[in-house]
Amino acid sequence: MSEEIFLKLEGIKKSFGGVHALKGVDLEIRKGEVHCLAGENGCGKSTLIKAISGVHEPDEGSIWIDGEKVEKMKPMDAINRGIQVIYQDFAVFPNLTVAENIALNGELKNKAKLVNWKEIHETAAKAMEQVGAHIDPDVKLERLSVANKQMVAIGRAIVNDAKLLILDEPTTALTAREVEKLWAIVRNLKEKGIAIMIVNHKLDEIYRIADRLTILRNGAYVSSGPISEYDQARFTRDMTGKDISGEKYNAAASEEEILRVEHLTRSGAFEDVSFTLRKGDVLGLTGLLGSGRGEIGEALFGIAPAESGRVVLNGKEITIKSVADAMANDIGYVPEDRLTQGLFMQRSIQDNTIASSIRRYMKGARLDEQGMEDATKHWIKEIGIVAPSPKPAVRTLSGGNAQKVVIAKWLNTDPKLFILDGPTVGVDIGAKSEIHGILHNLAQQGIGIIVISDDLPELVQNCNKIVVMRDGKVAAEVDNSIDEISLSNLLIGANEEEVESK
Amino acid sequence: MSEPKLTKDRRLPGFLRDTHIVTIIGLMVLVCIIMMILSPSDFFSGKNLVSMIFQFPEYGILAFGMMACMIAGGIDLSLVGIMNLSGVLAALILKNMVQMDGTTVLNPGMVLPALILAIVVAIVVGAACGAFNGFIIGYFGLPAMLVTLCGLQLYTGLAYGITGGPAINGMCDAFKNIANGTIPGTGIPIVLLIFIVVLAAVVFIMKCTVFGHEIYFLGSNAKAAMYSGINTLKVTIMTYMFSGILGGISGILITSHLNSAKSSNGSTYTLLTLLIVVLGGIHPDGGKGRVLGVTLAVLLLQMIANGFSLMHVSQNAKTFANGCLLIAALVLSVVLEKRAEKKAAAAS
């Protein structure tokens, strides 16, 4: 790492139709450093990346690249100056081969009219070597794993003479091993003098890789400095603007059992999973991607049913082979992806709220419009959805409010067991704690709550019992006295003895 | 329940805020003005209005089928095939049960049973064809456009196989009356009544039943519908069945109207119904649109077609004009949507 600055932003402001996405952001990235950009969702990280890559022209502020002030930058200017962004979807072409993906850009840039296949293969091989990945250049991209697609995207950036590589939440879809491999590649690129900016908000990952850190909040610059200056408390405080109280959810002790799962198995997903949920419990279900945490939720909701095992709900053994079975047993499920699985974005709040309970509103031959409206108004008030009426389309709502609508949809079915996969992903901090409050209330009313999440602070604070999954099996069951670091170690299977002895 | 926080929407009534509907009404006024200038006496004559009423119900009813499938996120290109297959079977039943000598019926007692059987068979066959479409689309997850295009070939082929080529002509007067007659003593065409009954049923199903809401849910987001506990396969099959039933009803009407059944009747209706629903504001991606918009679009298209024939415009020019309208309607729907999105973005 040198002291030489590659990219400097000063007072960057950008608004979209009255919304101030960036309110004066400063950023300095040095050559050959790994710089982490952190902040809650909606803090302006994506807008900032787009400003750096020339997609959005800032309303105010200045950008220096390699000591030179750049005005009115277009995406092509940014690329020519060595700025390469790798977005979460990698923007690769699934139907083209690895070699084509890596080298075609360059061919286009050179304004070649004919494709030189030999050159393409050479370029691709060189890129893969630099990245340190071994991927067959003739394989089509769609057949690669997420991690390998990412390698190809990085390879493509390197071929295009990247001087600053921006990785937008690069670890979201990776397994622990793949994350380690990615960090090795990042370190390797760093040694070559390439600056790397990583957008991430998971502290444990940031500690492993970053040299310096910049934190944004609500579109404004908060702080910046070497990673050594940040401890957990400062990091959270700078991210959220509050000192997190650290108050944990504790259930009133009850022996009344709501749900008992025994030896639940679906081959290839999870195996021999058992746990018990008592009245008042908020049960956390966690694990890395691919650990089977989400699949258990899908099995209990009948989307991908378990092949064997017993499920006992409120003292009655039930069989769940389909979504209809799950609903007949009063099980509700908030899916992981709100946008594609949870909501009808174009439809009104009312339509979304009654989507799973519409049959209740049959009055004779027709639907009771008034009854549906009243129910929606009830939930708007009850769980604090910010909306003027039940009529606006859900797409006009913020992430937190939209998620509350998904929750309302299920509460309107009077569930006895309520499973939520990633209930607060993409939800701002205020709505997040409101949603947690709703869940605590429901648990105290005797509804079984299962929260599936990889947000460790969320789990420790809001669940009184946490089931940790690893490779499809239950690795541990802990209570909320565990700290996040030990929980994180449990997830990846590190320091096993040490943790288990606790 | 009164909530101080939840203010009642006090803007224009819903349908007047729908830009599509306002556009169609505007276009209808425009057509009226143009016709007033070009040939006022013909267009607004009572005779012309009645002749229009006899024409639109058969494709108007088809358009409702197309509408339901498009709201569900699909399309039904097989409707004309279903219509002709139903029509051919109905005609066959009538020809076999009612013995005729020229235009005289030899066994009048058989007319009513034959009529009822023909209508029931047409509707049941329509439902079966639709259910087949829906099953293939929903169960195998194939694109509706391909499945129903194959369905069009399949049902048209079946109809052709049954007739062997030539049309079945000369059904009894009672059958002819369905689409050509008026209610005795009033001069109101029977088809208008049928159209209104079908329209009322369609409005009721789309607006007041669980099934209607499920069609909208399926079209807005099929995955979310599944995650909300909606049986998407069942809804898909029912939607195409619904469309098929409307195709069957239309088959009765067109066969009666032309007093002739064959596999190639109304072959322009596939494109025409597509044009009607898009013009009527049914979003090609599904999940959006109103029956009112489609109904108005049916009337608008009838006015335009009628205007063309009053001015003796050739069939080719009509086809060309319809093509232009379809493109314009599609472009307009995208432009309106983008504008609405911008407005929404600026408002938030």
The rounded distance, in Å, linking the Cα atoms of A254 and A492 is 32
pLDDT number for residue A494: 67
Q: Which residues in B lie closer than 8 A to residue A374 (C-beta atoms)?
A: 1
Token readout for A244 is 């997190």
Taking CA–CA distances from B229, the nearest residue in chain A reads A323
Out of B229, B287, B344, the one facing A324 most closely (by C-beta) is B229
pLDDT number for residue B345: 59
Taking CA–CA distances from A393, the nearest residue in chain B reads B344
The rounded distance, in Å, linking the Cα atoms of A322 and B295 is 39
User: Helix, strand, or coil here: A449?
Assistant: strand
Angle between helices A429-444 and A399-411 in degrees, nearest 10 = 20
Cross-chain residue pair B6–A390, CB shorter than 8 Å:
yes
SS (H, E, C) A260-313: EEEEEEECCCEEEEEEEEECCCEEEEEECCCCCHHHHHHHHCCCCCCCEEEEEE
Q: What is the full per-residue pLDDT of chain B (348 aa) written as tens digits?
A: 333 344 444 455 666 667 778 888 888 898 888 888 887 677 778 888 888 899 999 999 999 999 999 999 999 999 999 999 999 999 999 999 998 887 788 888 889 999 999 999 999 999 999 999 999 999 999 999 999 999 999 999 999 999 988 999 989 999 999 999 999 888 889 999 999 999 999 999 999 999 999 999 999 999 999 999 999 999 999 999 999 999 999 999 999 999 999 999 998 899 899 999 998 989 888 888 899 999 999 999 999 888 888 888 888 888 888 888 888 878 887 787 788 777 665 554
Nearest-neighbour CA in chain A from B82: distance (Å): 29
Question: DSSP letter at B8?
Answer: P
Q: What element of type H or E holds A139?
A: none
B 279-308 → A contacts, CB under 8 A = 287-288
List the domain boundaries for chain B. 56-264
Any idea how long chain B is?
348
Nearest-neighbour CA in chain A from B7: distance (Å): 6
Residue with tokens 């999105």: B341
Cross-chain residue pair A342–B224, CB shorter than 8 Å:
yes
Taking CA–CA distances from A19, the nearest residue in chain B reads B348
Task: Tell which residue, B329, B294, B345, B9, has the closest CA to residue A349.
Answer: B9
Token readout for B253 is 């009407």
Q: Which residues in A lie closer than 8 A to residue B5 (C-beta atoms)?
A: 381
Instruction: Please give the torsion angle defined by the CA atoms of residues B305, B308, B309 and B311, in that order, rounded to the nearest 10 degrees.
Output: 160
What are A40-94's pLDDT values in tens digits?
766 788 889 989 998 888 999 999 998 888 888 888 888 888 999 988 777 778 8
Question: DSSP letter at A252?
Answer: P
pLDDT number for residue A2: 55
Contact, B150 vs B140, CB < 8 A?
no
User: Helix, strand, or coil here: B129?
Assistant: helix
Contact, A205 vs A176, CB < 8 A?
no
Cα B175 from chain centroid (whole Å): 21
Q: What are phi and psi of B142, to 5 degrees?
A: -85, 155
Q: How far is CA A97 from CA A84, A148, A154, A396, in A?
A: 21, 12, 15, 39
| Amino acid symbol at A124 | A
pLDDT number for residue A240: 76
Work out whether strand A257-266 and strand A270-278 pair parallel, antiparallel, or are unpaired. antiparallel
Q: What is the mean pLDDT of residues A131-150?
A: 85
Residue with tokens 């068979």: B121
Cross-chain residue pair A377–B9, CB shorter than 8 Å:
no
Contact, B178 vs B197, CB < 8 A?
no
User: Helix, strand, or coil here: A418?
Assistant: strand
Sign of the torsion formed by the C-alpha atoms of A389, A390, A393 and A394: positive
Taking CA–CA distances from B340, the nearest residue in chain A reads A396
Q: Which residues are within 8 A (CB) of A209 and not within 5 positions of it... i.e. 6 or more apart? A: A34, A36, A183, A186, A187, A198
Q: Which residues are within 8 A (CB) of B148 and not within 5 positions of it... i.e. 6 or more apart? A: B69, B74, B75, B76, B77, B78, B133, B137, B240
The rounded distance, in Å, linking the Cα atoms of A187 and A174 is 17
Nearest-neighbour CA in chain A from B288: distance (Å): 8
On whether any CB of chain A is under 8 Å from the CB of B101, the answer is no
Contact, B74 vs B151, CB < 8 A?
no
User: Helix, strand, or coil here: B343?
Assistant: helix
The rounded distance, in Å, linking the Cα atoms of A213 and A225 is 6
Tell the burial category of A491 from Cβ atoms under 10 Å away from its Cβ (0-12, 13-18, 19+): buried
Nearest-neighbour CA in chain A from B19: distance (Å): 16
Sign of the torsion formed by the C-alpha atoms of B235, B237, B243 and B246: negative
The rounded distance, in Å, linking the Cα atoms of B320 and B315 is 9
The rounded distance, in Å, linking the Cα atoms of A476 and A501 is 12
Q: What number of other Cβ atoms are within 10 A of residue A280's Cβ?
A: 22
The rounded distance, in Å, linking the Cα atoms of A55 and A417 is 45
SS (H, E, C) A313-326: ECCEEECCCCHHHH
Task: Tell which residue, A168, A177, A207, has the closest CA to residue A86.
Answer: A168
Out of B210, B220, B288, the one facing A358 most closely (by C-beta) is B210
- Starting at the edge strand that comes first in sequence, how are the strands of the sheet with A60-65 ordered? A19-30, A5-16, A60-65, A68-70
What are A201-218's pLDDT values in tens digits?
777 788 888 999 999 888
pLDDT number for residue A112: 65
The rounded distance, in Å, linking the Cα atoms of B96 and A399 is 65
Taking CA–CA distances from A301, the nearest residue in chain B reads B227
The rounded distance, in Å, linking the Cα atoms of A246 and A226 is 26
The rounded distance, in Å, linking the Cα atoms of A406 and A391 is 15
Fold of the domain built from segment(s) A257-500: Rossmann fold (3.40.50)
Two domains, one topology: A5-240 and A257-500: yes
Cross-chain residue pair A17–B216, CB shorter than 8 Å:
no
How many inter-chain contacts (A to B, CB under 8 Å) are there?
89
The rounded distance, in Å, linking the Cα atoms of A88 and A304 is 27
Q: How far is CA A95 from CA A92, A105, A155, B117, in A?
A: 9, 15, 17, 54
Token readout for B127 is 């439902």
The overall average pLDDT reported for chain A is 87
Q: What element of type H or E holds A96?
A: none
In angstroms and rounded to an integer, the radius of gyration of the C-alpha atoms of chain A is 25
List the domain boundaries for chain A. 5-240, 257-500
How many H-runs (helices) and E-runs (strands) does chain B carry?
Answer: 15, 4
What are A234-285's pLDDT values in tens digits?
887 888 776 655 578 887 778 889 999 999 999 989 999 999 999 999 999 9
Domain A5-240, CATH class in plain words: alpha beta
Contact, B170 vs B263, CB < 8 A?
no
- Starting at the edge strand that comes first in sequence, how are the strands of the sheet with A331-334 ordered? A331-334, A417-421, A448-452, A282-287, A465-470, A473-479
Contact, A463 vs A439, CB < 8 A?
no
Out of B3, B217, B227, the one facing A333 most closely (by C-beta) is B227
Q: What is the ipTM of this complex?
A: 0.82
Q: How far is CA B119 from CA A146, A168, A422, B88, B93, in A?
A: 57, 62, 54, 11, 10
| Amino acid symbol at A326 | A
What are A166-197's pLDDT values in tens digits?
998 888 777 777 888 889 889 988 988 899 99
